[in-house]
């Protein structure tokens, strides 16, 4: 959302008893036992699996830099930024871990931020991911700031508050309704994730109780509160835990235990649990076979869903990364010269070797790819003469069809304005 803020004259905020920052500082969990805010949502198995899958798939795809001069698109390999994106964005993490960190935060909080460290000459020295919840976006739509810059990233961390110009921050967003700030999918799915987490808690407690249901202890007479607590504790010790599963235990005289038999089927537990899993996976754009839910999967539909996963889920995310990186990691002159970042998706679309080689053969014979382009895709060195486009010699122009049956064969091709031998 857009925020109005008056620099150096904003009133101090007052924290109430329901304010999350105050409760966190006091050590109180405002979300309770089933809290799913932020990183806590990763404790829910489906959320963890979906974010783990997305972050790894995004991180494993190599980023390449291309230049389009209007006639051809060529790969630029020696640009200084490529060392950061392909090998090590900063001294503390690899390029893979850097991408994983950004994608995890983008899915948890709706936004991921990375600081662009630039030296005095304008050369980028490093890229550093920032903790998304510590970032605030300020828009001076009230024209209070003295300079012309009306948009700032304000980061609170490391014992201070830092103001960043938009060109200093790579901002990767999730779904957004204003184009400025992304919306957290966890916040939107809060109740759904809580229900799924509650289902897991139910199963955990069910197993901890030795697969035994709770019940009611009946007795004749009256017990004072201390004696009642002592008796209930005795029943807990005798019945709870896997070690007591399916064991007999003696009942004191005058006491009767009546179990409460509520099965998972009676509570429609399995149906509700499966529905929650499907809804969470759908919200993240993950196909069910990708989180090992194979009840409705076949070989054919799994292959088709993999292609849909790229087209519908990964491609929009990759486009967002490419556009942000191109705009903020390249000089204006480089962008005007036709340079741009592109993610190589061959790693995720790559099929089995037989299907891949058959596709390569078709592409080479139709003049679509050169031999060296195919070898590059397979990470093999180029060969001399492999840059020439080849074409099947049996193919001809459509207006030449049938000429081979005329007298004189292929040398009897008609010239414009001249009658053929058969017409004479």
Query: Which tens digits make up the pLDDT trace of 111-127?
Result: 999 999 999 888 999 99
- Residues 374-394 pLDDT 10s: 888 777 888 998 888 888 777
16 is a domain residue = no
Rounded to 10°, the helix 269-284/190-208 angle is: 140
Q: Is residue 414 within 8 Å of 420, Cβ to Cβ?
A: yes
In this structure, the answer to whether residues 42 and 130 fall within a common structural domain is yes
Confidence (pLDDT) at 422: 47
Structural domain span for residue 367: 351-396
- Give me the mean pLDDT over the 234-260 stretch: 62
- Which of the four pLDDT bands, split at 50, 70 and 90, describes residue 7? very low
Confidence (pLDDT) at 272: 67
- Give me the mean pLDDT over the 246-251 stretch: 60
- Give me the mean pLDDT over the 296-306 stretch: 68
Strands (DSSP E) contained in 79-145 are 111-118, 124-130, 135-139
Rounded to 10°, the helix 190-208/45-60 angle is: 120
In this structure, the answer to whether residues 181 and 197 fall within a common structural domain is no
Token reading at 338: 């036709």
Among 111-115, 150-154, 413-417, where is mean pLDDT lowest?
Answer: 413-417
53 is a domain residue = yes
- Give me the mean pLDDT over the 211-219 stretch: 60
- Which of the four pLDDT bands, split at 50, 70 and 90, describes residue 215? low
Q: Residue 241 region, left (φ>0) first, then alpha (ψ -120 to 50), else beta?
A: left
In this structure, the answer to whether residues 65 and 181 fall within a common structural domain is yes
In this structure, the answer to whether residues 110 and 214 fall within a common structural domain is no
Closest CA to 164 of 190, 187, 140, 137: 137
- Give me the mean pLDDT over the 7-24 stretch: 46
DSSP 12-55: PPPP-TT-HHHHHHTT--TT-TT--SGGGGGGSHHHHHHHHHHH
252 is a domain residue = yes
3-state helix, strand, coil in the chain (%, to 5): 45, 15, 40
Confidence (pLDDT) at 270: 60
- Which of the four pLDDT bands, split at 50, 70 and 90, describes residue 11? very low
pTM (two decimals):
0.69
- Position with higher pLDDT, 345 vs 294: 345
Order of strands, edge to edge, in the sheet holding 339-343?
A: 73-76, 63-68, 339-343
104 is a domain residue = yes
Confidence (pLDDT) at 128: 97
Dist. CA 323–CA 320, nearest whole Å: 5
Q: Is residue 287 within 8 Å of 309, Cβ to Cβ?
A: yes
Dist. CA 102–CA 172, nearest whole Å: 8
Encode 213-267 in three state secondary structure.
CCEEEEECCCCCHHHHHHHHHHHHHHHCCHHHCCCCCCCCCCEEEEECCCCCCCC
14 is a domain residue = no
Dist. CA 168–CA 152, nearest whole Å: 10
Domain boundary among 326, 346, 366: 346
Share of the chain above pLDDT 70, in %: 64
In this structure, the answer to whether residues 155 and 180 fall within a common structural domain is yes
- Give me the mean pLDDT over the 141-160 stretch: 79
End-to-end CA distance of the chain: 83
Confidence (pLDDT) at 305: 77
- Which of the four pLDDT bands, split at 50, 70 and 90, describes residue 226? confident
Contacts by 149-153 with C-beta closer than 8 Å and gap 24+? 153/113
In this structure, the answer to whether residues 59 and 182 fall within a common structural domain is yes
In this structure, the answer to whether residues 81 and 229 fall within a common structural domain is no
Dist. CA 51–CA 296, nearest whole Å: 22
In this structure, the answer to whether residues 229 and 305 fall within a common structural domain is no
Domain boundary among 346, 362, 382: 346
- Residues 55-102 pLDDT 10s: 999 999 999 999 998 877 888 988 999 999 999 999 999 999 999 999
- For the chain, what is the domain count? 3
401 is a domain residue = no
- Position with higher pLDDT, 293 vs 331: 331
- Position with higher pLDDT, 134 vs 299: 134
Dist. CA 251–CA 156, nearest whole Å: 61
132 is a domain residue = yes
In this structure, the answer to whether residues 65 and 121 fall within a common structural domain is yes
Domain boundary among 255, 270, 285: 270
In this structure, the answer to whether residues 53 and 158 fall within a common structural domain is yes
Instruction: Write the DSSP symbol of residue 148.
Output: S
27 is a domain residue = no
In this structure, the answer to whether residues 48 and 148 fall within a common structural domain is yes
In this structure, the answer to whether residues 79 and 179 fall within a common structural domain is yes
- Give me the mean pLDDT over the 307-336 stretch: 93
- Position with higher pLDDT, 46 vs 100: 100
Dist. CA 21–CA 18, nearest whole Å: 9
């Amino acid at each position: 959302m857009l925020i109005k803020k008056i620099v150096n004259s904003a009133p101090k905020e007052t924290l109430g008893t329901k304010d999350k920052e105050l409760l966190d500082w006091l050590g109180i969990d405002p979300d309770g036992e089933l809290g799913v805010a932020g990183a806590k949502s990763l404790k829910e198995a489906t959320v963890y699996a979906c974010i783990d899958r997305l972050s790894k798939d995004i991180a494993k795809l190599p980023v390449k830099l291309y230049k389009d001069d209007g006639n051809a698109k060529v790969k630029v390999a020696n640009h200084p930024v490529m060392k950061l994106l392909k090998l090590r964005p900063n001294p503390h993490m690899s390029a893979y871990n850097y991408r994983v960190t950004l994608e995890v935060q983008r899915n948890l909080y709706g936004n991921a931020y990375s600081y662009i460290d630039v030296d005095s000459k304008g050369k980028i020295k490093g890229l550093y991911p920032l903790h998304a919840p510590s970032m605030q976006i300020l828009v001076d739509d009230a024209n209070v700031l003295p300079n012309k810059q009306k948009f700032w990233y304000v980061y609170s961390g490391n014992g201070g508050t830092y103001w960043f110009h938009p060109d200093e921050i790579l901002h990767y967003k999730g779904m957004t309704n204003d184009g400025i700030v992304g919306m957290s999918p966890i916040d939107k799915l809060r109740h759904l994730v809580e229900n799924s987490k509650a289902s897991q808690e139910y199963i955990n407690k069910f197993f901890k109780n030795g697969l035994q249901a709770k019940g009611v202890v009946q007795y004749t007479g009256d017990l004072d509160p201390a004696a009642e607590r002592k008796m209930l504790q005795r029943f807990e010790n005798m019945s709870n835990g896997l070690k007591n599963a399916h064991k007999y235990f003696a009942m004191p005289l005058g006491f009767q235990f009546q179990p409460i038999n509520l099965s998972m089927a009676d509570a429609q537990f399995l149906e509700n649990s499966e529905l929650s899993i499907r809804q969470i996976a759908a919200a993240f754009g993950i196909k069910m076979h990708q989180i090992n839910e194979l009840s409705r999967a076949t070989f054919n539909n799994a292959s088709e869903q993999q292609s849909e996963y790229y087209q519908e889920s990964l491609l929009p995310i990759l486009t967002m990364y490419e556009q942000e990186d191109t705009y903020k990691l390249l000089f204006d002159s480089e962008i005007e010269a036709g340079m741009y970042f592109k993610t190589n998706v061959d790693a995720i679309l790559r099929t089995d070797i037989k299907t891949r080689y058959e596709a390569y053969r078709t592409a080479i014979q139709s003049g679509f790819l050169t031999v060296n382009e195919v070898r590059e895709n397979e990470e093999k060195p180029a060969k001399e003469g492999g840059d020439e486009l080849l074409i099947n010699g049996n193919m001809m122009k459509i207006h030449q069809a049938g000429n081979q049956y005329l007298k004189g064969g292929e040398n009897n091709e008609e010239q414009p304005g001249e009658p053929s031998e058969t017409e004479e």
